[in-house]
């Protein structure tokens, strides 16, 4: 396929050390990078309308393959004209073009979450020590809690061909293979999507991380083949391969070299780090990825982690944290996160963050949101979610401008000093 036929192009416009600012072009619009990608898991960013997302500065949104496969089903979304149109993100421009870049993940992390990790608080950033082989094996066998058992018992079983799992909605039995994940994502119609992978828990032992990583490599080849063989999808959509390997630098390096050798349009870095290991594991992976292709840091949304990723040369970031913590009363501020349900904010009539004014939320005070949360008014979570998404977008936009101005390291140092003081 010639460059002119590709559904995606990427050009680096400026660098500041290993950080880079670029232009990512899709058939449904351009994306200035680095960029934060709000997550609309079920084809909707919780509490935020598409036009509000645009006003906040969002350039692209990401939805979840696993959830959309189960409900409403990929065929319904395909019949509706694809993900962007279905969720109201698609917008006609003055010249008649359809605008609204979208992404989908492969569903791998969600299937994993319903297996060994179901019923536990699992994130892609590790909390706790690495498990022993025996502990990990016991946990992988006992993959359900009594309160969430289904008629099929075990919720997810991984083998070399794919994953058999039960729906968290009704207990029905399903199976994902790399080929099936790609088929679903073709129907969803996002501009960019990810190869099917096994996303392990951050505390899984080294030997299992290696096993899962190499299975991910085999699945990557199968995902890529399934995409390239669909000529229509190949002209309209782009596929990203995913680097795995947990917190281990040697595995990350091995995975990055293997995935980089494949003809992907872009690359994702899977989670499963500890905070302490993130920098090293990310650095070990990024140096092997092609400079001329975009890189996405999957599931990373903590402000400091995003800046770390940008410093290491990552271009795109997605995470549900902004809306998730917002729904529970916590907002980001330049001086660190605050929980507005705390007593001290009842009489605080200052802006949500005097230093970061977010479009659509500028007129609201901390005291007002504190009232809304206490009164259980749905407007509280909506405003807090909008503020948080806007805060992260402004943070990343500022980083991009700093890269263009060659002041990124100072920008990052100033933010980290204030936010984590």
Residue 318 bears catalytic tag: yes
Are 392 and 373 in contact by the 8 Å Cβ rule? The answer is no
SS3 220: helix
- SS in 3 state form for 356-415? CCCCCCCCCEHHHHHHHHHCCCCHHHHHHHHHHHHHHHHHHHHHHHHHHCCCHHHHHHHH
Cβ atoms within 10 Å, residue 147? 6
SS3 101: coil
CA distances from 305 to 50, 228, 368 (A): 26, 34, 30
Are 107 and 185 in contact by the 8 Å Cβ rule? The answer is no
Element (H, E) at 241: strand 238-243
Number of residues that this document lists for the chain? 421
Given the residues 277, 315, 318, 353, select the one marked as catalytic.
Answer: 318
Are 45 and 327 in contact by the 8 Å Cβ rule? The answer is no
Nearest Cα to Cα of residue 41 among 94, 86, 104: 104
Given the residues 95, 105, 145, 197, select the one marked as catalytic.
Answer: 105
Q: Which residues are catalytic?
A: 105, 318
């Amino acid at each position: 396929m010639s460059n002119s036929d590709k559904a995606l192009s990427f050009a680096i416009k400026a660098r500041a050390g290993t950080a880079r600012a670029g232009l990512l072009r899709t058939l449904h619009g351009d994306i200035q990078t680095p960029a934060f990608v709000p997550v609309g898991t079920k084809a909707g960013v919780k509490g935020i309308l598409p036009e509000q997302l645009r006003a906040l500065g969002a350039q692209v949104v990401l939805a979840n393959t696993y959830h959309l496969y189960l409900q409403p089903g990929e065929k319904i979304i395909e019949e509706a004209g694809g993900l962007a149109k279905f969720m109201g993100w698609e917008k006609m421009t003055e010249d008649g073009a359809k605008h609204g870049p979208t992404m989908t993940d492969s569903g791998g992390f969600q299937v994993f979450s319903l297996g060994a990790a179901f019923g536990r608080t699992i994130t892609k950033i590790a909390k706790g020590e690495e498990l022993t082989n025996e502990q990990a094996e016991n946990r992988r066998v006992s993959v359900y809690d009594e309160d969430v058992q289904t008629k099929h018992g075990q919720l997810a079983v991984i083998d070399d061909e794919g994953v058999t799992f039960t729906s968290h909605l009704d207990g029905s039995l399903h199976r994902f293979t790399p080929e099936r994940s790609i088929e679903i994502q073709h129907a969803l119609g996002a501009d960019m999507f990810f190869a099917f992978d096994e996303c392990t828990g951050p505390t899984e032992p080294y030997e299992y991380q290696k096993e899962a990583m190499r299975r991910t490599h085999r699945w990557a080849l199968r995902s890529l083949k399934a995409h390239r063989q669909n000529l229509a999808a190949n002209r309209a959509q782009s596929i990203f391969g995913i680097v795995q390997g947990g917190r281990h630098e040697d595995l990350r390096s091995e995975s990055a070299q293997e995935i980089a050798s494949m003809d992907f349009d872009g690359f994702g870095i899977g989670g499963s780090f500890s905070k302490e290991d993130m920098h090293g594991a990310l650095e070990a992976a990024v140096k092997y990825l092609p400079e001329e292709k975009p890189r996405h840091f999957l599931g990373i949304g903590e402000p400091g982690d995003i800046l770390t990723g940008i410093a290491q040369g990552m271009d795109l970031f997605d995470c549900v944290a902004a809306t998730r913590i917002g729904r529970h009363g916590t907002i980001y501020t330049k001086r660190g996160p605050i929980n507005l349900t705390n007593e001290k904010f009842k009489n605080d009539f200052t802006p949500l963050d005097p230093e970061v004014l977010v479009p659509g939320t500028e007129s609201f005070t901390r005291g007002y949101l504190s009232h809304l949360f206490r009164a259980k008014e749905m407007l509280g979570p909506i405003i807090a979610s909008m503020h948080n998404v806007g805060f992260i977008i402004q943070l990343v936009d500022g980083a991009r401008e700093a890269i263009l101005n060659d002041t990124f390291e100072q920008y990052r140092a100033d933010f980290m000093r204030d936010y984590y003081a």
